Amino acid sequence: MKHYKSYIFKNKALIIFAIFSILIPLSVVFGEGEAKKDTGFIYKINNTREPFMPLVSADGTVVNLEPQSDISDIHLEGIIFDPGGKSYAVINGNVIAENDSVGNFKLKEIKKDKIILQNGENTHIIELIKEDAGEKKL
């Protein structure tokens, strides 16, 4: 009996190697079959952001995710004007700096009460809408 236990112990490594040499090829064969199986799910974007698209361009500017192709899609909501520094415009709920893109437009200049957008050769000026004297300020 002692000789039998010694034989099993010495060949334990050989037995483990034999088991793994059978199991590993089977897992590779069956694993590939599982990976290629169609799950039946379809990813629909539905006008939402592509999850793997970078949010910042290579030059460090923020990428606008909602391209506006028409000037009527651009809504100037506010201006943060600093004559000695960097000014910002609030367009369609996003804070945009000069030379940033707004859809198909590039914000060329921010003035105290208007912005200048450029789309190719076309230049568009959008003025900030002023409150009427009769309206209440919040």
Over the stretch 4-57, which tens digit does the pLDDT of each residue have?
A: 566 656 677 777 777 777 777 666 655 554 445 555 656 555 555 667 777 787
pTM of the complete model: 0.48
Question: Rounded distance, CA 49 to CA 66, Å?
Answer: 8
| pLDDT tens per residue, range 87-118 | 999 988 889 999 998 888 899 999 999 999 99
What does each C-alpha distance from 21 to 17, 30, 66 come to in angstroms? 6, 15, 54
Q: Give the residue extent of every domain in the chain.
A: 2-36, 71-127
DSSP state of 103: T
CATH fold label, 71-127:
SH3 type barrels. (2.30.30)
3-class DSSP state for residue 90?
A: strand
Strands (DSSP E) found in 4-130: 76-80, 88-91, 94-97, 101-102, 105-110, 114-119, 122-127
